[in-house]
């Protein structure tokens, strides 16, 4: 490579290094927008599944809202969804509801918590049985 070619490569590399944060930010923003759209699509699917009577859909939507994995935390709604799925005899939801009611805070109700965990065990949720 000639000396002139080396200088051109150095100049190109220097320019790229200077512009890299801009390119990186644009790529990150595009990826974030795509991720947000995918998350919203999954939330919408879980919402529909729950509306159509799927206890698993209600449970998964409740878990997502309780933990805030999507950036939205709605513990009161999660409790409602867990209750709905538990009433449909979905053991993991009864166990999740029992755990939620066992935590210190405004919703704490140890009597109800224990009854939900027992119900989950009766519905063959191994984690609930281990917790008793």
Structure tokens at 69: 């994995």
Residue 13 to residue 5: CA distance in whole angstroms = 12
Residue 79 to residue 104: CA distance in whole angstroms = 15
Most distant pair of Cα atoms in the chain: their distance? 82
pLDDT of residue 1: 47
pTM (predicted TM-score): 0.73
Do 99 and 114 contact (CB within 8 A), yes or no? no
> Does residue 73 come out as left (phi exceeding 0), alpha (psi in the -120 to 50 range) or beta?
beta
Q: What is the pLDDT along the chain (132 residues), one digit of tens a residue?
A: 444 455 566 666 666 656 666 656 666 666 666 777 888 888 899 999 999 999 999 999 999 999 987 777 899 999 999 999 999 999 999 999 999 999 998 788 999 999 999 999 999 999 999 988
């Amino acid at each position: 490579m000639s000396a002139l070619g080396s200088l051109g490569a150095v100049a190109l590399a220097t320019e790229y290094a200077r512009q890299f944060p801009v390119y990186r930010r644009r790529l990150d923003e595009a990826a974030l927008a795509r991720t947000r759209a995918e998350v919203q699509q999954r939330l919408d699917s879980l919402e529909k599944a729950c509306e159509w009577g799927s206890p698993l859909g209600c449970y998964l939507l409740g878990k997502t809202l309780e933990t805030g994995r999507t950036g939205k935390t709605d513990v009161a709604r999660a409790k409602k969804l867990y209750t709905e799925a538990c009433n449909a005899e979905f053991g993991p939801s009864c166990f999740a509801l029992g755990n939620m009611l066992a935590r210190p805070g405004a919703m704490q109700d140890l009597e109800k918590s224990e009854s939900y965990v027992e119900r989950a065990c009766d519905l063959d949720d191994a984690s609930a049985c281990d917790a008793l």
